[in-house]
Amino acid sequence: MRIATFNVNGISSRLPALLEWLEEKQPDVACLQELKAPQEKFPEDAIKAAGYQAIWHGQKSWNGVAILTRGAAPIEVGRGLPGDEDDLQSRYLEAAIDGLLICCLYLPNGNPAPGPKFDYKLAWFERLIVHAAKLIDSGAPVVLCGDFNVMPTELDVYKPERWVDDALFRPETRAAFQRLMAQGWCDALRTMHPGEKIYTFWDYFRNAYGRDAGLRIDHLLLSPALAPTLKAAGVDRDVRGREKPSDHAPTWIELDLGRTG
């Protein structure tokens, strides 16, 4: 089973690129972030015509997440990250698919830091850590994936010294990510490619893609029950080099679910 995460940076303007990629790679599951569209503006018909069923949580102007499936329909089990009734931002969606629990997230950017946006990022992170602990404890096969807006280590940044004060790389942010990982999650990309330079995002500024000035901020984390099924992982880098691209590239894993028994 192939599962991908892709921050599309606006599903309306990215629709042609998204459909091209879906047709090409045919992932079984695609988690999307930054729809930047209200609930009623999700291009449901075009997605259906491409062979996918979808659930989504839209929001006007910003945020927005979706889960697409090619086989069985996604069964929604959660909308919005638990822990703060007043948080109205559309950043979390959870679905049961083929016996797996797929969690699609868009963690806040948090810049400028310090400041209220950074505080929101860290608070959101704490809620995620609490929720993720429950998922781990359940023993269920879980994929926790999306745009985490965190570079976990220096290897994940083209020029670490320039990012130390940035919300995506500050010590507090990296520490939060480490605490999440300490629950027992498997960072699929890093596990399959230890020590390798892998990026999932390149800024639109200054020809960042051409210079390979990238960041690894989109992640797929596997619960212990699923980690042994990991067969392959990668980034569809070329998608970032096409016409009207998102600033993120699709990032994916391949699971061999036959091995779960």
| Using rule CB under 7 A, residue 162 touches DNA | yes
Beta carbon of residue 62, minimum distance to DNA (angstroms, whole number): 6
Comparing CB distances to DNA, the nearer of 141 and 214 is: 214
Question: Which x/- pattern over 94-113 shows residues binding DNA (rule: CB under 7 A)?
Answer: --------------xx-xx-
Comparing CB distances to DNA, the nearer of 9 and 69 is: 9
- Scanning 137-145, 165-173, 187-195, 228-236 for contacts with DNA by CB under 7 A, the matching segment is 165-173
CA pair distance 197, 235, nearest whole angstrom: 11
| Using rule CB under 7 A, residue 168 touches DNA | yes
Question: Which x/- pattern over 224-253 shows residues binding DNA (rule: CB under 7 A)?
Answer: --------------------x--xx-----
What are 143's strand-pairing partners? 102, 222
Helix (H, G, I), strand (E, B) or coil at 42: coil
Strand ranges for the chain from DSSP E: 2-7, 29-33, 53-57, 65-69, 75-79, 92-97, 100-106, 142-147, 186-187, 201-202, 214-215, 218-222, 230-235, 251-255
| Residues catalogued as catalytic | 106, 147
Residue from 205, 210, 258, 261 touching DNA (CB under 7 A): that is 205
| Using rule CB under 7 A, residue 206 touches DNA | yes
Comparing CB distances to DNA, the nearer of 16 and 99 is: 16
Comparing CB distances to DNA, the nearer of 60 and 259 is: 60
The angle at the Cα of 159, spanning 156 to 163, to the nearest 5 degrees, equals 85
Q: Residue 116's CB: how many other CB atoms inside 10 A?
A: 9
- Scanning 129-137, 173-181, 204-212, 252-260 for contacts with DNA by CB under 7 A, the matching segment is 204-212
Strand ranges for 80-198 from DSSP E: 92-97, 100-106, 142-147, 186-187
Q: What Rg, from alpha-carbon coordinates, does the chain have? A: 17
Question: Which x/- pattern over 34-73 shows residues binding DNA (rule: CB under 7 A)?
Answer: x-xxx---------------------xxx-----------
| Using rule CB under 7 A, residue 200 touches DNA | no
| Using rule CB under 7 A, residue 136 touches DNA | no
β 142-147/100-106 pair status = parallel
How many residues of this chain bind DNA (CB under 7 A)? 35
| Using rule CB under 7 A, residue 134 touches DNA | no
Q: Which amino acid is at 237?
A: R
| Using rule CB under 7 A, residue 178 touches DNA | no
Helix, strand, coil shares of the chain, percent, nearest 5, are: 30, 25, 40
Beta carbon of residue 9, minimum distance to DNA (angstroms, whole number): 5
Angle between helices 171-181 and 116-138 (to 10 degrees): 10
Confirm if 82 and 129 have CB atoms less than 8 A apart.
no
Torsion angle defined by CA atoms of residues 179, 180, 184 and 188, in that order, rounded to the nearest 10 degrees? -120
Residues that bind DNA (CB under 7 A): 7, 9-14, 34, 36-38, 60-62, 108-109, 111-112, 117, 147, 149, 162, 165-166, 168, 201, 203-206, 215, 217, 244, 247-248
